[in-house]
Structure 1
Amino acid sequence: MHFGSLTYKTKQFFLLLIKLSIVVGAFYFIYKKLTENEELDFHVFIQFLRENEAFSIKTMLFLLFLTFFNWFLEILKWKTLVATVEQISFKNALEQSLGSLTASLFTPNRIGEYGAKAIYYTNGKRKKIVLLNLLSNMMQMGTTIVFGGIGLLLLNSKYDLNIDYFKVSRLVVIIIVILIFTAFAYKQKSFKIKGFSVKRLLQFFKNISIKTKVLGMLLSVLRYFVFSFQFYVLLTIFGVSVSYYNAMIVITSMYLLASIIPSVFIFDVIIKSSVAVYLFSIVGVNDFTTLSIVTLMWLLNFVLPSLFGSYYVLNFNFPKDDTLQC
């Protein structure tokens, strides 16, 4: 972003216009997702929640506590990782995490988060911030793959999903081929991820202390268990009779499949809802209950934090030595 030789007031006006556009865009995105969901009528959903006596004030406070704890861990992880570049307060990490959530809510796979977090820093630090955000997402994705893989294996052995092992083996072969080409490209120093060469990425991650990486992974695992447990709590609230063990097998499998299935942001919720409906139907949970829980999880862990994040977006200012330049 470069405003050239515009006057200070003009620059401020354009900055305010951009911030308002982001907030309005986020609110409109949320509105469309809720009102135009063909799988779950929002009015029926709201009516159901009103009539369900299980949603007491005590229950809602507990669900909100889990949401708070989930984002507390994410913010603490961001603060920990950023410390390798610049020491920031928990308040700064909170502002950057929630503000970037709002700014990236309507971008494909929340790709906008990378740029949104980077602009909180001066030009010289932005590339490192992008890489740290990539590392943070890789840690969370790695956690999802490990626990989801275990869950999927247990789910298949317990319920016999009739997996086509020929197709699975073919997929494995494709992945191996991709890895071979990746290794070759790495040697040629031409392969890039998010604009960075693999060699540079590996060197950057190698320079981060083991203590920081271990703490980041630990926070990722704790966060994973918090929002997975929140999903289980919602199952019990909706009267689903399933043990914690069986529920976690399905929940971990769901998060894995929902994460690896490619989708554009317009169809993201539809695809993830479809995965959840299919998997939970295996343990006897009806479609409406599953869709309601998926919607509540989205409201609690994305919509609610993004509402707070909109405050930080509107109050955003560029770093003092980099005002209105990026």
Structure 2
Amino acid sequence: MSHKSKQFLLQAGKLLVILCCLAYVFYLFQGDTFDWHHTVAFLSNIPIYFYLLLPGLSIASWLVESYKWQYLVRDLREVRFRESVIHNLTSQATSFITPLRAGEFATKAFYFESSLRKKVLKAVLVGNMSQMAVTIIVGVAGVAALFYSEVLSLFSIIFLATLVVWLGPTISKRIDFQAARLDGVILLSFLRYALFSGCWLILLSFYSNASLITIAASVAAMYLATSLIPSLQLFDILIKWSVATFFVSYLNLPIENMTAIVAIVWLNNTVLPALLGCGLLAFQRFPKLIAA
């Protein structure tokens, strides 16, 4: 199969996923079981301190991501933390409307000399692959805990983490990346995962009667499912909502409450950093700020 055919199938697959999610949303909202007034009431009764806590967690996760980016490119050029934050927020803004986070690759490469751009692209790939590895490890453990047993979940984490450590040197050699630094990147990816999933855990723990283990397992399984489905970040809320509705029975939550929670998390974790990045992109002076 040619490269163009693969690209066409990938784009067609993403479009099909988005259309299926739209159809599912339309079908559910047209039914008599969904009550928008319940969702509005839920949103109006959210504690005031959540409006500080949840954005704070999101910003903290992006600060960790910025430190990870600084760590990834430290052999290419000294990037100050302020610069790294700008790199990440502006790339989030451009990747928001591009498939497979293509905007992130292009934007981050823009900040470096042309002679370094291939290595920059590799650094972006390593960062994204590490984050995906963490999502898979925690997600598989979540699925095991939710549908099978907590013992199997613990075994899954130990097995997959051991597999990553065992394969780390081989992977590092293939991509010409130091194994010790790859371990550091994965640890930072775990920390970032804990922060951005914290929004889910706080909201669900506050409103759901389910156990903390069930809540954490459901969040991990949701992130695993949504990460494996190709889509644009712009339509990410449709994917997350469609997947999240599957878990309402496990979490003892009305679907109206879950709809509000999905919207809150999406706004904090995806839209907020994209808006901050757009604000930086809107100012023509920001390259001077980076060079300062």
TM-score (norm 2): 0.73
Q: Secondary structure of the equivalent of 2:209?
A: coil
Query: What letter matches 1:63 in structure 2?
Result: L
By how many angstroms is 1:313 displaced?
A: 1.3
CA RMSD of aligned residues (A): 2.7
1:48 to 32, 38, 41: 41
- 1:242 matches 2:204: no
Distance, in Å, in 2 between the alignment partners of 1:300 and 1:267 is 15
Aligned residues of 2:145 and 2:214 also touching (Cα < 8 A):
no
- 1:299 matches 2:267: yes
Relative to structure 1, is the Cα distance of residues 133 and 294 closer, same or farther in structure 2, using a 3 angstrom cutoff?
A: same
Deviates more, 1:242-251 or 1:306-315: 306-315
The 5 Å alignment of 1:1-326 reads 38=26, 47-48=40-41, 51-52=44-45, 54-56=46-48, 58-157=49-148, 203=173, 205-206=175-176, 208-237=177-206, 239-263=207-231, 267-315=235-283
Query: What letter matches 2:255 in structure 1?
Result: D
Aligned residues of 2:140 and 2:221 also touching (Cα < 8 A):
yes
**Percentage identity across paired residues of the two chains:** 31
Relative to structure 1, is the Cα distance of residues 212 and 51 closer, same or farther in structure 2, using a 3 angstrom cutoff?
A: same
Deviation sequence 1:106-159 (CA, Å, 0-9, x none): 112322111111111111011111111010000000000001011111211159
Larger radius of gyration: 1
Distance, in Å, in 2 between the alignment partners of 1:109 and 1:291 is 25
Distance, in Å, in 1 between the alignment partners of 2:234 and 2:88 is 23
Q: Secondary structure of the equivalent of 2:82?
A: helix
Deviation sequence 1:157-201 (CA, Å, 0-9, x none): 159xxxxxxxxxxxxxxxxxxxxxxxxxxxxxxxxxxxxxxxxx9
Q: Secondary structure of the equivalent of 1:62?
A: helix
Relative to structure 1, is the Cα distance of residues 49 and 307 closer, same or farther in structure 2, using a 3 angstrom cutoff?
A: farther
TM-score (norm 1): 0.66
By how many angstroms is 1:101 displaced?
A: 0.6
Structure 2 unmatched runs, 5+: 1-24, 151-170
Distance, in Å, in 2 between the alignment partners of 1:309 and 1:274 is 27
Query: What letter matches 2:245 in structure 1?
Result: V
Relative to structure 1, is the Cα distance of residues 319 and 226 closer, same or farther in structure 2, using a 3 angstrom cutoff?
A: closer
Distance, in Å, in 2 between the alignment partners of 1:85 and 1:297 is 35
Distance, in Å, in 2 between the alignment partners of 1:266 and 1:224 is 20
Distance, in Å, in 1 between the alignment partners of 2:63 and 2:287 is 24
Aligned residues of 1:152 and 1:253 also touching (Cα < 8 A):
yes
Query: What letter matches 1:214 in structure 2?
Result: D
By how many angstroms is 1:265 displaced?
A: 5.5
By how many angstroms is 1:242 displaced?
A: 2.0
By how many angstroms is 1:229 displaced?
A: 2.2
Relative to structure 1, is the Cα distance of residues 301 and 290 closer, same or farther in structure 2, using a 3 angstrom cutoff?
A: same
Relative to structure 1, is the Cα distance of residues 62 and 70 closer, same or farther in structure 2, using a 3 angstrom cutoff?
A: same
Q: Secondary structure of the equivalent of 1:111?
A: helix
Q: Secondary structure of the equivalent of 1:311?
A: helix
By how many angstroms is 1:89 displaced?
A: 0.1
Distance, in Å, in 2 between the alignment partners of 1:233 and 1:303 is 19
Query: What letter matches 1:155 in structure 2?
Result: L
Distance, in Å, in 2 between the alignment partners of 1:65 and 1:140 is 20
Query: What letter matches 2:139 in structure 1?
Result: G
Aligned residues of 1:154 and 1:249 also touching (Cα < 8 A):
yes
Aligned length in residues? 238
Q: Look up the match of 1:189.
A: none
Q: Relative contact order: is structure 1 or structure 2 higher (C-alpha 8 Å, sep ≥ 6)?
A: 1
Q: Look up the match of 1:171.
A: none
Q: Secondary structure of the equivalent of 1:121?
A: coil
Distance, in Å, in 2 between the alignment partners of 1:67 and 1:85 is 28
Distance, in Å, in 2 between the alignment partners of 1:318 and 1:73 is 21
Greater fraction of residues in helix: 2
Relative to structure 1, is the Cα distance of residues 264 and 45 closer, same or farther in structure 2, using a 3 angstrom cutoff?
A: farther
